[in-house]
Amino acid sequence: MNRAGFQTPPTLSEPSAPKSATEKADLYRDNRIAYWNNYVRRSPSLYYHRRTAEIYKFIIPPGQQVLELGCGDGDLLAALKPSRGVGVDFAPSRIERAKAKYPEIDFVVQDVHELSLDGTFDYVILSDLVNDLWDVEQVFHRIAPLTNPRTRIVINSYNRMWELPLSIVRRINLVSPFITENWFAPEDIDNMLYLSGFETIRRWREILLPMRFPIIDSLFNKIFAKIAPFRSFALSNFIIARPAWQNRKAGDSEPIVSVIVPARNEAGNIEGIFRRLPKMGAGTELILIEDHSTDDTFEVMERTAARFPSQRCRIMRSPGTEKGKGTAVRAGLAAATGDVLMILDADLTVAAEDLPRFYEAWRSGKGEFINGVRLVYPMEQEAMRYINLFGNKFFSTAFSWLLGQKIKDTLCGTKVLSREHYDLIASNRAYFGDFDPFGDFDLIFGAAKLNLKIVDMPIRYAERTYGSTNIARWRHGWMLLKMIGFACTRIKFV
């Protein structure tokens, strides 16, 4: 007691100097290295990791060059069967286990905040890693030199709604205990990607039931997790990103552009195609495919080509005996020799003069699959009937939900992509089936499966000035509904 009758406060020791940001980061890292060196995966979490691997195998085809940051024991990386696999982790004991299990893969002990590797990769994976990082943006900046314009960054992290449930199951020892972690909203990760020179292509949620219950887990994780309102409660946020187009450098030389024009009973439009087709890139190749016409479309093609000798042109008939735009389009795409492939309908309701805008959007890197949209500007009076307009809007909504990327008009015939990407789509066409009567939808499905950046290009839609439409509204509408149902089993509910 002091003289005034109050208790004398205890003598305080001299306060220690506040730790610097670097010291805090080092302590954070050391604690985590110690934790992960001694980490043992509990059996209830095995199902979660198996399901995560299934999702990654759907996203990333075999034979790719794959870098995984925070690779742990290497199980996920090995499951992807990469042509070149590199795993990085800062826990030496886990890297030693990974090397022993998968000697065909390169494993490196590094802190990803100081990542230093050679070469570039097709895919960079951060699976359940951003939750554990001290500085996520710094790691994203470290990734940038290891990417090329085709690289895809694939991230999964915990949904913040699971923070309390996971803390409970950890307290009762059902899964491995954890140390303090980050809980990010997907928008936070999008923003840090943007600050680091990347742009998000799409994001979604997976894994509603992270434990094994026969039949029930498949129902919850393959169907309910993809449907509102259940998807809001799924455990994992998935994000696919790519290097931002502003940071992409165009090649030194301009490419040849091939314009594929399928035509059935379009004799009156052929000359307009030759007259109006613009020069693009290093040159424009015109591929005309006559599709079982009942008029003289093919003969008009030959006569008109002779009158325009300066136009690089190839004229062909659609193969087989079955008429259909899809068959004609695929034949034209296979015959094209350009590095950039465009589809233009012969009726010229989409103006040929608009094609350079599609080319520039592709050339700049703003998009990898440029999709024409007729539903933005007012249409000419007879361009589209009301029932067709309603159908277009319905299918655009359905496809946007199905593919995870916004597509405002799925039925516009004008689309642009690279030869490289088309060849990949064509080689995997059997995955979706070869029953697209239009030639548009296997391209859209394939582009989504390859995680290409799809960009809508608004155009003004004109009236047809010659002939009549080849679309059978009700029959083809029913085909589209069946295609959506089938695609659900191949893209959405997997």
Helix (H, G, I), strand (E, B) or coil at 254: coil
Q: For 39-95, how does the pLDDT look when each residue is reduced to its tens digit (9 = 90+)?
A: 777 666 789 999 999 999 999 999 999 999 999 999 999 999 999 999 999 999 999
Say which residues have a Cβ less than 8 Å from residue 322's Cβ, sequence separation at least 6. none
Instruction: Report CA dihedral (16, 22, 25, 27) to the nearest 10 degrees.
Output: -40
Q: Give domain limits for the chain.
A: 28-247, 256-492
Helices (H), 111-185: 136-143, 163-171
Instruction: Quote the DSSP letter at residue 278.
Output: P
Q: What b-and-e string marks burial along 452-467, b requiring 16 or more CB atoms within 10 Å of the CB?
A: bbbbbbebebbebeeb
State phi, psi for 314 to the nearest 5 degrees. Answer: -130, 130
- Lowest-pLDDT choice from 55-64, 143-152, 422-431: 422-431
pTM: 0.86
Q: Check if 28-247 and 256-492 are the same fold.
A: no
Q: Which CATH architecture has domain 28-247?
A: 3-Layer(aba) Sandwich (3.40)
Other CB atoms within 10 Å distance of the CB of residue 230: 14
Average pLDDT over residues 346-359: 95
Average pLDDT over residues 123-134: 95
pLDDT of residue 43: 61
pLDDT of residue 391: 72
3-state DSSP: the chain helix, strand, coil percent, rounded to 5?
A: 40, 15, 40
Average pLDDT over residues 323-345: 93
Asked if residue 172 has pLDDT above 80, the reply is: no
Contact 70, 46 (CB under 8 A): no
Other CB atoms within 10 Å distance of the CB of residue 292: 17
Asked if residue 205 has pLDDT above 90, the reply is: yes
Q: For 279-305, how does the pLDDT look when each residue is reduced to its tens digit (9 = 90+)?
A: 999 999 999 999 999 999 999 999 999
CA 442 to chain centre: 15
pLDDT, averaged across the chain: 88
Say which residues have a Cβ less than 8 Å from residue 300's Cβ, sequence separation at least 6. 267, 270, 271
pLDDT of residue 393: 80
CA 457, CA 370: separation in Å to the nearest integer?
A: 7
CA 23, CA 42: separation in Å to the nearest integer?
A: 32
H or E element, residue 66: strand 65-69
CA 333, CA 324: separation in Å to the nearest integer?
A: 15
Q: What angle do CA 223, 224, 225 make, to 5 degrees?
A: 95
Helix (H, G, I), strand (E, B) or coil at 40: coil
**CATH of segment(s) 256-492:** 3.90.550.10
CA 487, CA 493: separation in Å to the nearest integer?
A: 9
Average pLDDT over residues 231-248: 89
